[in-house]
Amino acid sequence: MVSANAWAAAESQSGNTSAIIIFVAFVAATLWISYWASSRTNSSSAFYTAGGNITAGQNGTAIAGDFMSAASFLGISGLIFTAGFDGLILAIGALAGWPIMLFLMSERIRNLGRYTITDVVSYRLQQRPIRMIATLGTISVIIFYLIAQMVGAGKLVELLFGIPYTVSVAMVGVLVIIYVTAGGMLATTWVQIIKAILLLSGAALMCVLALVAFNFNLDSLFAKAVEVHPRGELIMQPGSIFSDPIQAITIAVSMMFGTLGLPHVLMRLFTVPDMKAAKKSVFYASNMMALFYIMTILIGFATIAFISGDPQYYTDGKLIGGSNVAAIHLAHALGGDLLMGFMSAVAFSTILAVVAGLTVAGSAAISHDIYAELLSKGKPDPRKEMFISRITVVVLCSVAVGLGVLFQNQNVAFIAVMPMVISASVNFPILILAMYWRGFTTRGAVIGGLVGFVSSIALIVGGPKVWVSIIGAEAPLFPYDYPALFTMTAAFITMVVVSITDRSAASVQDRALFDKQLVVAELASNKKM
Amino acid sequence: MILNSNPAFRKLLKLRSRVRFTLAALLVLVHAFFVGGIAFYNDLFARPLQDGGTLTIGILAAVVVIIAMVLLEWVYIFISEKWLDPMQQKVLSGEHND
């Protein structure tokens, strides 16, 4: 970190100034939004879902904002910077989940749930057990996702602004507590919208500047990248890091199905008035993300063309700050200190927005799923529920800050994988089977969900990112970084086998309620009946 | 539940699942085509688009796959807004007349 601090210190004043001005403007705008939203956040429904009054266009932008994290922008362009073509599998995999969400999930989830995905899966299954397993899936995804964001935030801010790691992590925690406790989902939505627009325009600007530098000749941009990259022509071809076919498949599966169980993304489906708007918001979101990932691919190759081999971005033969900030270096190469400051501020605001979204979802899981539905059996004291949801926000953010500080010097690559794999192996199978398979029973959901959860953690711990990189063994017990191909399959098989052989009285009820659920899921008729 | 034997509702269900699962299967095929280019037929993806050029079939495939995903979504929105949602409205209003 010495070199990074030296670099940050050596950055000229103007870069820091523009970054600070943009960042302060962002914080001021979002704080004003929280103040504005606070008077409208006076019930649990307003807190969790902004009262269901967000439009499809606003929600689509906010969903895109939830998913276009700094990790995907900086991480994917950084992977392309190092590996070339193979980095694209993450971009395509991340996009591939969205059409499935639109076709199979968006409408039924909106019709069956009220505030959380746990509402959806408990529509016809036995309340207590199904809520426990669904909440386990939700909370663990959120906690791991939060840690990854916090560590990312700390490192990024330390590098870009020279602010100490602990201070920046705490700053994220405090700001998010203010947004969410004051303005709930309404404030979070607008923070996401602003951030999504900033990120999309920043990425578009970088693409245009990169293309201008090559007179809009794509082939010569890529030719330059091939010329300066140590791997040469190999960067244009698959196979440089994923030589094993199963590795490529299991990454694609993890990214695609992991997206389909993310609680903070799916929760956004409840912020719009009806199923039509829910469907439309996923559609708008995917269009924006398709554009964003195409730009990210171009930016990835542009980082190679502009940065690779340029001594001012290297110390001791290594890229300053690592490949994750390659895109920030590109901003500097294209637009000098001003653009670099802008993109740094955008990257940080992105983290703030994603943490806010995660916090609302985590708070809903605890105050709605656990307090209101489990402990109060669906009849909570409204004032107490509001109070608990706000306390949860403070607790969750403090835990995230604490864990962020604790993991400061750890290799956290595995923490970014964890939520996607758990989401694909616990949340997604339970959701899809509860909505589409009549024979699915509570026992199948609980046992299968536990199999998915335990196998996800076991295979990640036994995999290269923990067993070799952290524990220090010679060879991993399990060869792949992203185990969802195996863990999700195990969860599905267990759920099907256990459900088929389930002859309990509860299972009869679970299956009998399917017809009623089907009517509500397809017709949205519960509001009218 | 009277609705489950209602022919209009059965028809909506059947059409909707046909559209949903057909499009989902197409999406999986499109995605599998791209993953296959990394896992199995990387020679094809490594080939340049034109002789002497740098851009490869793989890069073009990535962009085409992304566009195909968006097009599949357009198809779903089009079909459901034009036919499925009006059918749903009809089933619902029929139910209220009962």
Any idea where the domains of chain A sit in the sequence?
2-527
Stretch 52-71 of chain B: residues touching chain A, C-beta under 8 Å: 53-56, 58-59, 62-63, 65-67, 69-70
- Mean of all residue pLDDT scores within chain A: 90
CATH assignment of A2-527, given 3.40.50.300, 1.20.1730.10, 1.10.10.10, 1.10.274.100? 1.20.1730.10
Q: Which residues of B touch A255 (CB under 8 A)?
A: none
Condensed to tens digits (0 to 9), the pLDDT of residues A96-155 reads 999 999 999 999 999 999 999 999 999 999 999 999 999 999 999 999 999 988 888 888
Instruction: Output the pLDDT for position B95.
Output: 64
Q: Averaged over A307-317, what is the pLDDT?
A: 88
Interface touch A523/B55, C-beta < 8 Å: no
Q: Over 60: is that where the pLDDT of A527 sits?
A: no
Which of B20, B54, B92 faces A103 most closely, judged by CB atoms?
B20
Q: Do B66 and A523 touch (CB under 8 A)?
A: no
User: How would residue B29 be classed by pLDDT, with cut points 50, 70 and 90?
Assistant: very high
- Helix (H) / strand (E) element for A314: namely strand A314-315
pLDDT band at residue A529, thresholds of 50, 70 and 90? very low
Under an 8 A CB cutoff, do B54 and A518 touch?
no
Residues A262 and A255 sit within 8 Å (Cβ to Cβ) = no
Chain B residues close to A437, C-beta within 8 Å = none
Contact B59 A85 (CB under 8 A): yes
Cβ separation B1–A516 shorter than 8 A: yes
Q: Which two tokens stand for residue A282?
A: 């996923």
Percent of chain A with pLDDT over 70: 96
Residue A272: partners with Cβ closer than 8 Å, 6 or more residues away: A52, A54, A55, A56, A59, A110, A278, A281
- Of the candidates A410, A368, A419, which has an alpha carbon nearest to the alpha carbon of residue A389? A368
For the cut 50, the answer to whether the pLDDT of residue B19 exceeds it is yes
Lowest mean pLDDT among A109-113, A117-121, A287-291, A324-328: A324-328
User: Chain B closest CA to A525's CA: distance in Å?
Assistant: 7
Q: Quick one: what percent of chain B has pLDDT higher than 90?
A: 70
Tell if the CB–CB gap between B73 and A96 is shorter than 8 Å. no
Cβ–Cβ below 8 Å for A99 and B27: yes
Q: For chain A, what percent of residues have pLDDT higher than 90? A: 69
Q: Which two tokens stand for residue B65?
A: 């796959």
Q: What is the pTM of this model?
A: 0.93
H helices of A308-441, where?
Answer: 326-364, 382-406, 413-422, 428-436
pLDDT confidence bin for A10, thresholds 50/70/90:
very low
pLDDT value of residue B2: 57
Structure token digits, residue A370: 């656990």
Q: According to DSSP H, which parts of chain B are helical?
A: 7-39, 42-46, 57-79, 85-97
Closest partner residue to B53 among A219, A256, A518, by Cβ?
A219
Contacts of A287 in chain B (CB under 8 A): 70, 73
Task: Name every chain A residue with its beta carbon within 8 A of the beta carbon of B3.
Answer: 519, 523
Chain B residues touching A246 at Cβ < 8 A:
39
CB pairs under 8 A between A and B: 138
User: Would you say residue A9 has pLDDT above 60?
Assistant: no
Is pLDDT at A160 greater than 80 in this prediction? no
Q: Is the CB of residue B75 less than 8 Å away from at least one CB of chain A?
A: no
CA pair distance A514, A509, nearest whole angstrom: 9
Rounded to 10 degrees, the C-alpha dihedral A272/A276/A278/A280 comes to -110
B70/chain A closest Cα distance in angstroms: 6
* Beta carbons of A249 and B39 less than 8 Å apart: yes
B75 CA: distance to closest CA in chain A (Å): 10
How far off is chain B from A111, nearest CA to CA, in Å? 13
**pLDDT tens column, A206-239:** 999 999 999 999 999 999 999 999 888 899 998 7
Contact A528 B1 (CB under 8 A): no
> Which among A99, A102, A236 has the least Cβ separation from residue B54?
A236
Nearest CA in chain A to B39: A245
Confidence of residue A73 (pLDDT cuts 50, 70, 90): confident
Q: Which two tokens stand for residue B11?
A: 């028809």
Q: What is the pLDDT of residue A6?
A: 46
Q: What is the pLDDT of residue A408?
A: 82
Look at residues A73, A16, A99, A24 and name the one whose alpha carbon lies nearest to residue A204. Answer: A73
Chain-chain contact of A236 with B92 (C-beta, under 8 angstroms): no
Chain B positions touching A293 (Cβ under 8 A) are 66
Cβ of A283 within 8 Å of Cβ of B73? The answer is yes
| Between A71 and A200, residue with greater pLDDT | A200
pLDDT of residue A3: 47
Q: Are A195 and A30 in contact (CB under 8 A)?
A: no
Name the residue with higher pLDDT: A152 or A459: A459
Note the pLDDT tens digit of each residue in A355-369. 999 999 999 999 999
| Confidence check: pLDDT of A465 > 50 | yes
B86 touches chain A (CB under 8 A): no
Distance from CA of B96 to the nearest CA of A (A): 9
Q: How far apart are CA A345 and CA A355, in angstroms?
A: 16
The residue among A5 and A156 whose pLDDT is bigger is A156
